[in-house]
Amino acid sequence: MNISLSYNWLKEYIKPGVSAEEFARRFSLCSQTIDRVIKTKAGWKNIITAKILEIAPHPNADKLQLATVDTGKEKLEIVCGAQNISVGQIVPLALVGAEVINPENAEEGWTVKKAKIRGVESCGMMCSQRELGIGEDHTGIFILPVETAVGVPLEKVLPAQDEILEIEVTSNRPDCMSVIGLAREAAAVFGKKVKAVMPSPNLKIDKQIEINIKVEEPKLCPRYQGAVMTDVKVGPSPVWMQQRLLAAGIRPINNLVDITNYVMLEYGQPMHVFDYDKLALKTRKDTDINTDRHEPKMIIVRKAKKGETILALDGNTYELGPENLVIADAKAPIAVAGVMGGELSAATAKTKTIVFEAACFEPVQVRKTARALNLFSESSNLFEKGLSVESPVLAMMRAIELCEKIAGGSVASEIIDVAAKKFKPIEIDFDLRQVERYLGIKIPATKVKKILTGL
């Protein structure tokens, strides 16, 4: 499998002390193959940040809108066909004379001109990721964080100079499909130390929100962690996070979804986020006082029932059965375990309380489900290769830490940890003398420890 990662990001964990090209050459000789290094550098001209002040319908076209934007110096009227814009957003604005990429052909560009569109003059163009050359998304305008300054050149907001490593990772090395995993590998190649950064979230609970987690299939889900966070503020991710996601080929969605994808890239552990308020309640009849009362909300890891369906995040509805493992609330599936979440429980702009999920699933089960449903994702690709049952621990802590920092969330429950059995590290016995005979060199015992631990 090929993955793409920012060299700048990798250097936060290890300092190889060489150029990206030299890193690729030496790393490829000793470990996974780096197919190419892509240099990225901002080359924008006359593209600035602008704030949307007003939006009105186009008088002569149902699918177009008129947006009045503030450039910091003047107000301009822009005709726009994207449906994801709203008043108050900060967007990239290509002024007259700017050059952008043709979204239909990345090899071509065009110059933005003042033009009449259906009888209304447009004095510029709001841009998508593809038009800016920073991503593949062309479904809407690229929305910048709300704290972005207005009227500044885009290159000052998006410092795009980096080298993107395109790495071919063999299927038996899922540990190399993350920034930290590659940093550990590079430590052995270059004889350097990995900078260990432990997440340090604030786990103090000010407002307790109850949730129960039940794993009915421990063989298929040997570990499941969940935590509730509240008072979250949903919006665009910080620019630095968006850039790293885009470099890896992942489209930014919102800060909550982006956190889960960012942690997956950083730690190699897929995660998911549910909107707590969308989880169904289980109602129990109290016959003594003849009233109905609700039990705490639940997350259940179980096999799907015959005929159950789920509307997945890709917009398609899938029919499930007992051969599929699902994450469910008290009434219905809310995710296909290890593959993809459900649309009806997804976090949106209105979300205030969430549940983070970090789990391990049996690889063969995930692989069979993904193929049977013809439903694949970055998560399923990782899970089907087999992940450590210890992986969810740091990933959950990191997600909570990021949520506190960029979404204003606060912890509202303990980290609920359901494990099938206590983790026991694998011990490997080998004869160092036999290794030395194969290699033809003497290896000091201290060197062996250093290589095995990555320290």
Residues 6+ apart with CB under 8 A from 40: 160, 161, 162, 163, 164, 247
pTM above 0.75, yes or no: yes
Instruction: Please state, for a pLDDT cut of 70, what percent of the chain lies above it.
Output: 94
If you write DSSP's letter for every residue of 41-67 in order, what string do you get?
Answer: ----SSEEEEEEEEEEE-TT-TT-EEE
Q: Strands 317-319 and 309-311, how do they pair?
A: antiparallel
Question: Please, are residues 182 and 390 in contact by the beta-carbon 8 Å criterion?
Answer: no
CA distance 188 to 453: 9
Residue among 175, 227, 181, 236 nearest 205 (CA):
227
Query: Phi/psi at 373 (nearest 5 deg)?
Result: -90, -10
What pLDDT does 455 receive?
A: 42
H-type alpha helices, 191-254: 239-247
Token couple for 325: 């493992």
What pLDDT does 279 receive?
A: 96
Query: In what helix (H) or strand (E) does residue 308 lie, and over which residues does it extend?
Result: none
Alpha-carbon torsion angle 239, 242, 243, 246, nearest 10: -160
pLDDT in tens, 136-152: 778 899 999 888 999 99
pLDDT in tens, 59-115: 998 889 999 999 999 999 999 999 899 999 999 999 999 999 888 776 678 899 998
What pLDDT does 147 receive?
A: 86
